[in-house]
Amino acid sequence: MVFSVQTHSPRPIAIHKQAKFLLQLEKIVSTPSTGIFIMPVSTIPYNDDPRPHKHDTAACPVLTFSNAEFPTLLEAMSFMGHMNFPVMKLPAEIREKIWEQEILEDCDYLERMRIEPYVADSPKCPTFLPRRALASKQMMNEIVPVFIKLAKFAMSSIGDNEFFCSFLDSVPKGRAYVRRLRFDFFDCVLYGHPENLDLKLAASCSGLREIQLTFHWRNVRRPVDAIVQHYHLKMLLNCKQLSRVILITMGYYSIEALETLHDLGQWIENQFHDQGQTVKYSVL
């Protein structure tokens, strides 16, 4: 299958940039495994193009891509939208790669996607979602799962936890897409509470790979067994895909607290090892 895309612009600079858009598009979508290829059509004058030509046609030259300089995918996607390129006709796995690259370039908050500023939003359509996801129901269904996979969601209260759960439950199989969670006040658990809501959420995310837990230094100046019992840390063992645990201490610098967190991390590694799962910890 071959898609041919035409460009039209009276300005030489715009012409050159549009040709670069097409080269980026070819790089992303052309794949022998799917048999789908993009055939860029340049409006750069033939003699002005510094790159070698494999061959040409009567209508226009066909460019090679070995030494091409590519624009960002966000620019390429914007240009494709302007040209009404049939993105939604591409196979689902290709579209997922396109959405992934666009989200990585457009969303600079993925490494700490804080829930707190958005708890007043509708959980079905919070304003932290990528703008393109709001274009249609189909794009919402395709882009939101990719966004959830890429983001590291940070929560600091029970309200954040409840809002995030409502958001995930509004997405089909939403909890399965979560890969990274961060609990900034993990140690704020009431004494005698029957369960840890943060770890309950984590355990319900079947695809979770990384979890970050923050403790105030005063709350880890106790034996590891007491910490495990107080925070119900054995619930963490229900995260069957987990591979990394990050432990953070906040407040005054305390060597004792750091040593305790290392002991706790070793306990976590050993517990997962006993159930045949490899999990590594780090203390920051």
Same domain, 113 and 79: no
Same domain, 206 and 160: yes
Same domain, 130 and 62: no
Same domain, 228 and 105: yes
What distance, in Å, lies between the first and last C-alpha atoms of the chain? Answer: 51
Same domain, 74 and 156: no
- H/E stretch holding 166: helix 158-169
What is the sign, positive or negative, of the torsion defined by CA atoms of 131, 137, 138, 144? Answer: positive
Among the candidates 86, 111, 135, a domain finishes at: 86
Same domain, 119 and 76: no
Give the residue numbers spanning the domain of 117: 101-283
- The Cα–Cα gap between 168 and 115 comes to 12
Residue 99's identity, in one-letter code, is: W
Same domain, 59 and 150: no
Same domain, 105 and 81: no
Number of domains in the chain: 2
Say how many CA atoms lie within 13 Å of 137 toward its Cβ: 1
pLDDT in tens, 182-235: 999 999 876 666 789 999 999 999 999 999 999 999 899 899 999 999 999 999
95: in domain:
no
DSSP string, 75-127: HHHHHHHHTT--GGGS-HHHHHHHHHHHHHHH-TTGGGEESGGGTTS-TTS-T
Same domain, 42 and 114: no
Residue 4's identity, in one-letter code, is: S
pLDDT of residue 87: 74
Beta 280-283 vs 210-216: how paired, if at all?
Answer: unpaired
Residue 152's identity, in one-letter code, is: K
Entry pTM = 0.72
Same domain, 222 and 131: yes
Strand partners, 200: none
Same domain, 143 and 75: no
219: in domain:
yes
User: Cα–Cα distances in Å, from 14 out to 7, 105, 144, 272?
Assistant: 10, 22, 32, 56
91: in domain:
no
pLDDT of residue 45: 56
For residue 93 the two structure tokens come to: 């796995």
Which residues does 119 contact at the CB level (< 8 Å), separation at least 6? 159, 160, 163
Residue 75's identity, in one-letter code, is: E
- The Cα–Cα gap between 96 and 99 comes to 5
Among the candidates 57, 86, 115, a domain finishes at: 86
Same domain, 121 and 227: yes
93: in domain:
no
For residue 76 the two structure tokens come to: 């390429």
Among the candidates 86, 115, 142, a domain finishes at: 86
94: in domain:
no
Strand partners, 191: none
pLDDT of residue 36: 42
For the chain, residues with pLDDT lower than 70 are 1-86, 190-193
